[in-house]
Structure 1
Amino acid sequence: MISSWRRRRAGRRAAKLQQHAEDDIGSMELTTPNHFRCPISLDLMKDPVTLSTGITYDRESIEMWIEAGNRTCPITNQVLRSLEPIPNHTIRKMIQDWCVENRSFGIERIPTPRIPLSSVEVTDMLSKFKMAYRREDEAGCRELVAKMKSKGKESERNKRCIVINGAAGVLSAAFEAFSSASFDKYVAVLEDILAALTWMSPLDGEAKSYLSSAASLNCLVWLLKSGDLSARGNAVSTLKELLSSDKRKVYALSEIEGAKEALVKLVKEPICPTATKTSLVVIFHMVSSSPSNEDTKVRFVEMGLVELLLELLVDSEKSVCEKALGVLDGICGCEEGREKAYGHALTMPVLVKKLLRVSDLATEFSVSILWKLSKNEKREDGSVLVEALQVGAFQKLLLLLQVGCSDRTKEKATELLKLLNIHRERLECIDSMDFKDLKRPF
């Protein structure tokens, strides 16, 4: 009995002593050693690196310092002999051991960071890639492209390092070389290179120069027609970037057999929203680049693009709507385009509906199209203007002038009102739209 009682009392005493010890530990404040802190952020270093001056910083902090344009050491103020920081594995291991020792304080062990790419490694990869594509080593090129993409996806820093060391120019040169050799034979490596170039967008001048060559443009159109879904999307994205920066390439693209058909197919049979928008942008450049490029507009009309755009506009989101209206505005610059628009039942209802409903840009395109259709109408009965009145164009245009718009749009809207006013006495205008929910800036 006595022995059992003594054991219970001893146990309670030991539990109290342990509780006091834990309370004492919990009340202690853990101090991070100064040599484990980054001199810039003053936080515990997660990826310690050492500069040429011998001072160690956290990688993220010192890279932000260097990217801001500084070329000196923040502590010593000495000019840096090299901008490539060297990983300090010794300090990193010491920090990890300290974290493990103090895990009872809630300190988590910092993971071992992946060593980022250096300019030397990127240059070496690109040098090997050049040798591989010059000897038409398809397998070697694909392996190196995959390695670049893999490294680039590890971090934004790696991606910047790859891009600033001229990877886009080297890959574009290889794309041109393989395109000149054979589309069919090297389709796999061509698709891989194009995917990598899309990932490196926006491209520099050297890369665009290689991709704008006759061989490269023909290959891009071929991929647009015959490639898989990913390749078609990458091809149209590359074409958009080329045409946006160099309008002189529009004519060259227009002359390539099957280019127009492939672009229209991307709109008619969309593979993804991005590809649809991009295709519309490329078509916009082709139909609005030059008034003398009438053959291109006529060909698009013959392929049923006017009908396709009007159906697309019925229920499309803002970005698609703006681009579709821009293309339709360009096509209505030719007589064939206007004739197709005149004969479609959706033309006037859709165009009037888009006024003040989507965006300022969409409104400007809609007014421009209405102006072209009304001004060039050859029917004596003025059926186009009458239909515009019936669906509420007069009220919408008056409201547009009150809300405000660009000077060019205001001139067209004013001229349209004058044309519409001639036919107002023939019928009572029907309000087809409810304006009560319209957002006004006043």
Structure 2
Amino acid sequence: MKNNSNSSSLSEAAIEILFHLNPSEVHIKSLINNESIQFIESLFHVLKHGSYQSRGYATMLLKSAFEVSDPIHLISVKKALFEELMRVLIDKISQQASKAALKLIVELLPWGRNRIKAVEGGAVLVLIELLFDVSERRACELILTGLDQLCGCAEGRAELLNHGAGVAIVSKKILRVSHVASDRGVRILSSICRYSANSRVLHEMLQVGAVSKLCLVLQVDSNFKTKEKAKEILKLHSSVWKNSTCIPVPLLSSYP
């Protein structure tokens, strides 16, 4: 037990030193390719068992490592990595660590079955909860980008819809943060409306103002692609929404 403790302490110390050395991409890639070091495995060990500060350093180094990793490393990540990244976000170790965790999640999600692994690791619920408190623009964009990617699979959409405020908080961020955030928010609603819509979901979107927000997107100076996506959603379910009293009259006038 003592040896394990000493080993963990040494790993944490080594990772802290490495982080402060600010290694180059070439250096990090050489560490990844050196099988005797097991660099990514060592970082994950500290991410799981280390102190708050060490877990923050490990998160930031993992982000750097996966940015230069071969696809095989990106595809073969385990659900446990997503679980630990969620823990970093929940614990709010530091703004820098949280940003690194979000960037890493967004980097990993497009590969293989990572979206499903992330959903199983609790990503959707954690990201939704983060949206309630996030104030920094880039962090909000990353959260919405992650949710957009996760809604690309049925499991991700189901988790978002199972959250009592998932649709509402995504809708709220549209037109309130940035063009990027609005685009990702509309894309999330599009995925839901295309692949997971039922009468309950469509009614919820009316009730929480998501449909009104889509109408507003058509009226304001927003990205052309975002407007087109919003128009597609509104047309798709016009038979349900178009004459609803839930949509304010000034917005109803822009219904396509």
TM class by smaller structure: 0.7 to 0.9
User: Helix, strand or coil for the counterpart of 2:116?
Assistant: helix
Distance (whole Å) between structure 1 residues aligned to residue 204 and residue 161 of structure 2? 10
Q: Does structure 1 retain, via aligned residues, the 8 Å contact 2:88–2:97?
A: yes
Q: 2:99 and 2:27 mapped to 1: Cα distance?
A: 26
Match of 1:208 in 2: 29
**What is the percentage of aligned positions where both structures have the same residue?**
32
Q: Which residue of 1 aligns with 2:121?
A: 303
Q: Structure 1 412/226 Cα, relative in aligned 2: closer, same or farther at 3 Å? A: same
Aligned residue for 1:233?
56
Q: How does 1:7-156 map to 2 (within 5 A)?
A: none
**Counterpart amino acid of residue 190 in structure 2:** W
Task: Give the equivalent residue in structure 1 for 2:172.
Answer: 353
Task: Name the residue aligned to 1:261.
Answer: 83
Structure number, greater radius of gyration: 1
The amino acid across from 2:16 in the alignment is: A
Q: C-alpha separation between the residues in 1 aligned to 2:189 and 2:234?
A: 11
Match of 2:253 in 1: none
Change (3 A) 1:332 1:183: farther
CA contact (8 A) 2:168 2:208 kept: yes
Contact 2:19–2:61, Cα closer than 8 Å, also in 1 = yes
Q: Which runs of 5+ in 2 are unaligned?
A: 249-256
Is the 8 Å Cα contact of residues 212 and 242 (structure 1) preserved in structure 2?
A: no
Report the alpha carbon displacement of residue 313 of structure 1 after superposing the two structures with TM.
Answer: 0.9
More helix by percentage: 2
Report if aligned partners of 2:63, 2:100 keep a CA contact under 8 Å in 1.
yes
Sort the Cα spacing of 1:302 and 1:206 in 2 relative to 1 into closer, same or farther, 3 A.
closer
Q: Deviations over 1:340-396 (max 9, x none)?
A: 1122220221111101101122111101110000100252x3x32332233333342
Return the letter of the residue paired with 1:198.
Answer: F
Shift of 1:273: 2.5
Residue type at the aligned position of 1:230 = Q
Question: 1:247: how far off?
Answer: 6.1
Q: Secondary structure at the match of 1:423?
A: helix
The question of 1:423 aligning with 2:246 is answered: no
Residue by residue over 1:160-210, the C-alpha shift from the partner in whole angstroms, topping out at 9 and shown as x without a partner, is xxxxxxxxxxxxxxxxxxxxxx98654444333322332233623133321
8 Å Cα contact 2:179-2:223 kept in structure 1:
no
Q: Does 1:414 align with 2:225?
A: no
Amino acid at match of 1:194: I
1:286 is matched by which residue type in structure 2? L
- Size of the aligned set, in residue pairs, is 242
Aligned partners of 2:83 and 2:122 also within 8 Å: no
Mapped pair 1:194 → 2:15: yes
Q: Report the Cα offset of residue 300 of structure 1.
A: 2.5
Match of 1:391 among 208, 224, 231: 208
How big is the alpha-carbon RMSD for the aligned residues of Structure 1 and Structure 2? 2.5
The reply on whether 1:272 has 2:89 as its aligned counterpart is no
Secondary structure of the structure 2 residue equivalent to 1:259: helix
Aligned residue among 113, 122, 130 for 1:312? 130
Deviation at 1:409, TM superposition (A): 2.6
Tell whether the 8 Å contact from 2:214 to 2:230 is kept in structure 1 after alignment: yes
In the alignment, structure 1 residue 281 sits paired with structure 2 residue 99: no
The code of the aligned residue for 1:396 comes to: K
CA shift in 2, pair 1:207/1:378, >3 Å: closer
Gaps (5+ residues) in structure 1? 1-181, 432-442
Shift, 1:425, TM fit: 4.5
Q: TM-score, normalised by structure 1?
A: 0.50
CA distance in 2, matches of 1:404, 1:426: 25
Counterpart of 2:54 in structure 1: which amino acid? A
Shift of 1:430: 4.6
Q: Is residue 163 of structure 2 the alignment partner of residue 344 of structure 1?
A: yes
Letter in 1 for 2:74: V
Give the 3-state SS of the residue equivalent to 1:345 in structure 2.
coil
Three-state SS of the structure 2 residue aligned to 1:230 is helix
3-state DSSP of counterpart to 1:271: coil
Distance 1:277 1:196 in 2: 21
Normalization by structure 2: what TM-score?
0.83
